[in-house]
Structure 1
Amino acid sequence: MIIENFMPSTGESSVRDKLVAGLRSNPKTLPSMFFYDHRGSELFEQITRLEEYYPPRIEIPLLASTARKLAPDLKGCDIVELGSGDCSKISVFLDEVPKDVRATMAYYPVDVCKEAIEKSACNLNVKYPEMEIHGITADFLEHMEMIPGDRKRFFCFFGSTIGNLTKAKAMEFMENLGEVMNINDRLILGMDMVKDIDIIERAYNDDKGITAEFNKNILNVTNNNLGTDFDPDDFEHVAFFNREYSRIEMHLRAKKDLEIMIPVLNERVFIRKDEMIHTENSHKYTEDDIEELAAAAGLDVENVFTDERKWFSLVRMVKR
């Protein structure tokens, strides 16, 4: 088992710059990649088990059935999971791959959270001792070139994580991924499809308030990196579906006027009551969007695996 770390340390200038730029912007933003410190990763694991949060309930059976169909193609492949988080989804996938095939494979989890990579790599090393595990702590939007490409690769981007990107960023990501993919490399892309808006909004406004705590935790991450004095209790969680952009938006709305000090810059940020900090988008897709994303990467769509209601899709694409 090998783990490589390409992420800057807490408080390094590149991290600070991203956070400060978001707080200086109008409207204010905080990059969603900063949700996933150790506590944020724990909270997201809890979210995936919530009754209201439908994607895992659909995606997990799809992963199992898709893996059974793809297993013959995986011999001698490297599996590269972008935004891997915990090992739950890839475990479902690998459980359906015969042991003799797994013995020819290597798994590369790629995630910004070092603790999540270490935990999942250790768990998978125990569960699948026959398979090589090579963890990479990195931002896949910036460090794609760090992923080895000596063998045929199956890139996995589960959970509709691509939906967290703006449309422009998603297209840029697909273009960059297409450039680093070799001929006959494949991508399995998870996509949350457009459906009844009430169902979508409930998924991001759970009764237990776990999504709200997850959203507010980004302020703790900001404090740890900038030395700021954000109090998460000064904000309320807001999540709604934006019809124009076909996406859920998550925000933090200030309950009162606030003056936040950024000690590393000797600078203050003023936030008015009811002003919102935009923390995340989660785009929902149509069949036309699938073709558009594939075209941006120069990939061909081979299969679309979906449930009977077509709420969620796993799309297999290939580089020709």
Structure 2
Amino acid sequence: MIIEDFMPKVGESSIREEMIACLRTNPKTLPSMFFYDHHGSELFEMITNLEEYYPPKVEIPLLRSTAQKLKQELKDCDLVELGSGDCSKISVFLDEIPEEIRQTIVYYPVDVCKQAIEKSACNLQDTYPEMNIHGITADFLEHIEKIPAKRRRFFCFFGSTIGNLTEVQAMKFMTDLGKVMNNNDRLLLGVDMVKDIDIIEKAYNDSQGITAEFNKNILKVVNDHIETDFYPEEFEHVAFFNKKHSRIEMHLKAKKDLEVTSPFLKDQIVFKKDETIHTENSHKYTVDGINKMANAAGLSVESIFNDDKKWFSLVEMVKQ
């Protein structure tokens, strides 16, 4: 097992500067990466088990059935998972691949968090001792060229993570990925599809209020880093489907006029009543949108695998 680290060392001052800059923009924003402190990660794990939160419920069975159909494509290839996290999705996928094929695979988990790579790589090595693992700590938006190209590669980008990128970011990512892919390299891309708006909005406005707590927790993370005096209860969780941009947007809306202070700021951060902080996007896709991304990458759509309701898709693309 090998782990390479390509992430630049980011100090606390850089994190503070980013938070302050985002809160100074108009409209105010906070990057969704700041959701995931320890408590935020626990809350997200709870969200994935909620009745209303459909994505894992449709994606996991789809991963199993798709792996069975694509298993021969994985023989003698490098399996690259972008944004691998805890590697739970790839485990579902690999369980369906015969051992004689797994032993021909080199698995490359790619994630910004070195600890996540180390932990998941160890767990996977225990589960699949016949498979070679080569972890890469990197930001796939910035360091895609760092991924080795020794053999044919099969890229995986699960969980509709691409939906969290802006439209510009997603198209640039696809373009950059297409440039580094070689002929016969493949991409299996997970995308959440456009569906009944009520179903989508309920997934981000659960009846137990866990998603609201998850959204508000980002203010506690900001307090920890720049010593602000945000009070989460002074903000309302707002999540709605933006038809124009085909995405769920999550915001935190000020319930009253507010002034937030920090020792790292000369002036207060001022909020008018109903002013929001934009915390996350989750884009939903159509077949036309999928084809647009494939065209940007110079890839051909080989297959689109769907669940029975066509709520979620795994899209197989190939470089020719």
TM-score (norm 2): 0.93
Quick one: structure 1 residues 287 and 57, their matched pair in 2 at CA, closer, same or farther if it must change by over 3 Å?
A: same
Given that residues 31 and 280 in structure 1 are in contact (C-alpha distance below 8 angstroms), is that contact kept between their aligned partners in structure 2? yes
Displacement of 1:2: 3.1
Given that residues 33 and 112 in structure 1 are in contact (C-alpha distance below 8 angstroms), is that contact kept between their aligned partners in structure 2? no
For 2:257 and 2:53, locate their aligned partners in 1 and report how far apart those are by CA, in whole Å: 33
Partner of 1:45, secondary structure, is helix
Quick one: structure 1 residues 156 and 267, their matched pair in 2 at CA, closer, same or farther if it must change by over 3 Å?
A: farther
In structure 2, give the amino acid aligned to 1:109: P
Q: Which moved more, 1:233-242 or 1:244-253?
A: 233-242
CA deviation string 1:240-281 (max 9, x = no partner): 111111111000112333333343454532222321100111
Structure 1 stretches of 5 or more lacking a match? none
Quick one: structure 1 residues 135 and 225, their matched pair in 2 at CA, closer, same or farther if it must change by over 3 Å?
A: farther
* Alignment RMSD: 1.9
CA deviation string 1:4-34 (max 9, x = no partner): 4415345142x33432221111100111222
For 2:283 and 2:81, locate their aligned partners in 1 and report how far apart those are by CA, in whole Å: 20
Structure 2 stretches of 5 or more lacking a match? none
Partner of 1:207, secondary structure, is coil
Does 2:79 align with 1:79? Answer: yes
Partner of 1:228, secondary structure, is coil
2:145 is aligned to: 145
Partner of 1:71, secondary structure, is helix
1:103 is aligned to: 103
1:56 is aligned to: 56
For 1:56 and 1:196, locate their aligned partners in 2 and report how far apart those are by CA, in whole Å: 17
Quick one: structure 1 residues 145 and 37, their matched pair in 2 at CA, closer, same or farther if it must change by over 3 Å?
A: farther
Quick one: structure 1 residues 165 and 97, their matched pair in 2 at CA, closer, same or farther if it must change by over 3 Å?
A: same
2:295 is aligned to: 295
1:132 is aligned to: 132
Given that residues 191 and 284 in structure 1 are in contact (C-alpha distance below 8 angstroms), is that contact kept between their aligned partners in structure 2? yes
Q: Where does 1:73-222 land on structure 2 (aligned, <5 Å)?
A: 73-222=73-222
For 2:123 and 2:232, locate their aligned partners in 1 and report how far apart those are by CA, in whole Å: 33
Identity of aligned residues (%): 70
1:246 is aligned to: 246
Partner of 1:195, secondary structure, is coil
Partner of 1:130, secondary structure, is coil
CA deviation string 1:130-173 (max 9, x = no partner): 22223333322122222222222111111111111121221111
Aligned residues: 319
Partner of 1:97, secondary structure, is coil
Quick one: structure 1 residues 196 and 220, their matched pair in 2 at CA, closer, same or farther if it must change by over 3 Å?
A: same
Partner of 1:64, secondary structure, is helix
TM-score (norm 1): 0.93
CA deviation string 1:224-243 (max 9, x = no partner): 43343333333221111111
For 2:89 and 2:139, locate their aligned partners in 1 and report how far apart those are by CA, in whole Å: 19
Quick one: structure 1 residues 251 and 8, their matched pair in 2 at CA, closer, same or farther if it must change by over 3 Å?
A: farther
Given that residues 36 and 112 in structure 1 are in contact (C-alpha distance below 8 angstroms), is that contact kept between their aligned partners in structure 2? no
Quick one: structure 1 residues 225 and 318, their matched pair in 2 at CA, closer, same or farther if it must change by over 3 Å?
A: farther
Quick one: structure 1 residues 9 and 248, their matched pair in 2 at CA, closer, same or farther if it must change by over 3 Å?
A: same
Quick one: structure 1 residues 229 and 126, their matched pair in 2 at CA, closer, same or farther if it must change by over 3 Å?
A: farther
CA deviation string 1:260-317 (max 9, x = no partner): 3343454532222321100111111111111100000110100000022211110000
Q: Which moved more, 1:274-283 or 1:115-124?
A: 115-124
Displacement of 1:217: 2.4
For 2:229 and 2:307, locate their aligned partners in 1 and report how far apart those are by CA, in whole Å: 45
Q: Where does 1:275-294 land on structure 2 (aligned, <5 Å)?
A: 275-294=275-294
Given that residues 68 and 97 in structure 1 are in contact (C-alpha distance below 8 angstroms), is that contact kept between their aligned partners in structure 2? yes
Given that residues 28 and 277 in structure 1 are in contact (C-alpha distance below 8 angstroms), is that contact kept between their aligned partners in structure 2? yes
Displacement of 1:189: 0.6
Q: Which moved more, 1:88-97 or 1:33-42?
A: 33-42
Q: Which moved more, 1:92-101 or 1:225-234?
A: 225-234
Partner of 1:46, secondary structure, is helix
In structure 2, give the amino acid aligned to 1:46: M
